[in-house]
Amino acid sequence: MNLKPSQAAIVYDSVRETFSKNGVPTEEQAKAYITMLGSTAGLKGDLPAAAIFDFSLAAEAAREMAVKK
């Protein structure tokens, strides 16, 4: 995927409010994001979320932050 900075900004602005407060999207949110990339960035196929992004570090940080509360 090769987006111009202006295209990436539009994509980001369209989804930034859809992510959870801990930075880890739900499976439903990830699927919606992939669908949106299909229509805005020409992403082809029904890809699993893990094929595009990895939120494992964010999930680990969220778990650690929850324990500290």
Asked if residue 9 has pLDDT above 90, the reply is: yes
> Looking at per-residue confidence, does 45 or 26 come out higher?
26
Position 69 confidence tier, pLDDT thresholds 50, 70, 90: low
Calpha distance 47→34 (Å, rounded): 8
**Closest C-alpha to 60, from 23, 31, 21, 26:** 23
**Sign of torsion, CA 14 40 47 31?**
positive
In whole angstroms, give the CA distance from residue 56 to residue 69.
Answer: 20
Q: What is the pTM of this model?
A: 0.56
| Residue where the block lists tokens 């202006």 | 6
Structure tokens at 46: 């029904």
